[in-house]
Amino acid sequence: MNNTDGDAIVVEHLRVVRGSREVVPDLDLRVPRGQVVGLLGPSGGGKSTLMRAVVGVQVVAGGRVVVLGDDAGSPALRHRVGYVTQSPSVYGDLSVRENVDYFRAVLGAPADAVDRAIAAVDLTSHATAPVDNLSGGQQARTSLACTLVGDPEVLVLDEPTVGLDPVLRRELWAIFHRLADEGRTLFVSSHVMDEAVRCDRLVLLREGRVLSDSTLPELLERTGAPDAEAAFLALIDAADAVQAAHAAGAADATQPEDAA
């Protein structure tokens, strides 16, 4: 596999199996450096599985994932890749600063990284507040600060805006783009289709398969749809039609020929 300078993440023939079910059958994907790439699709479509594979914590049945030139999960990537799970991974009885400082110590980052990380997520005025006293959006930003304290080049964010109101979501997306402007790569999952307009590039995932990998204008032009949600539904309908046609063809092939 050749990981070009323009790609932060390269996935080839990824296959993930749980029990007897193939969650991700054969997935190929490239995530460019320095962009906010959205991974969109319905719940249960394989988004979290793919993200766990990217950070190297998912057992895979086949294929390969390369991040910044190294195999996903390699020790060399521990300080270069940050992962934010769906629920804020912070301690509620500690303050924002205490949480960030704890993760700084775990990562071995310098002491001055704490204030930089807190400032990056606009929480300086709440640095001494216990996390339990913060809003959901502020807790999400605290979790992000705990990841940023290690100064990662790639951020993998699993539905970071879930459950947040539109104002808080807008604030988080502004932070994401500010981080990308600094040269970081952000791989952000969501099942909220209107967040597509906030991404530099979109990957639409369904049942572990990539239905589309393009910019939003390219997606709308391809489908003729007015927005991302309509485009996604159009792609689903097209995929279902192809699958139905294949199933019908297979059924016809198994029918006995009429007697002469």
Q: What is the pLDDT of residues 178-214, one digit of tens each?
A: 999 999 999 999 888 888 889 999 999 999 999 999 9
Contact residues for 167 (Cβ-Cβ < 8 A; gap 6+):
none
pTM (whole model) above 0.85: yes
Residue type, 232: F
How does pLDDT run across 133-158, given as a tens digit for each residue? 998 889 989 999 999 999 999 999 99
* CA distances, 85 to each of 76, 137, 210 (Å): 21, 14, 22
Stretches where the chain sits below pLDDT 70 are 1-5, 250-260
* CA distances, 224 to each of 113, 196, 230, 233 (Å): 47, 16, 9, 12
Contact 1, 63 (CB under 8 A): no
Please choose, from the candidates 188, 154, 6, the residue with its C-alpha nearest in 3D space to the C-alpha of residue 67. Answer: 154
Q: How far is residue 225's CA from residue 50's CA, in Å, rounded to a whole number?
A: 27
For 1-80+155-162+172-178+187-250, CATH number out of 2.60.40.1120, 3.30.70.260, 3.30.420.40, 3.40.50.300 equals: 3.40.50.300
Q: What are the sequence ranges of the domains in the chain?
A: 1-80+155-162+172-178+187-250, 84-151
Which stretch of DSSP H or E encloses residue 173?
Answer: helix 166-181
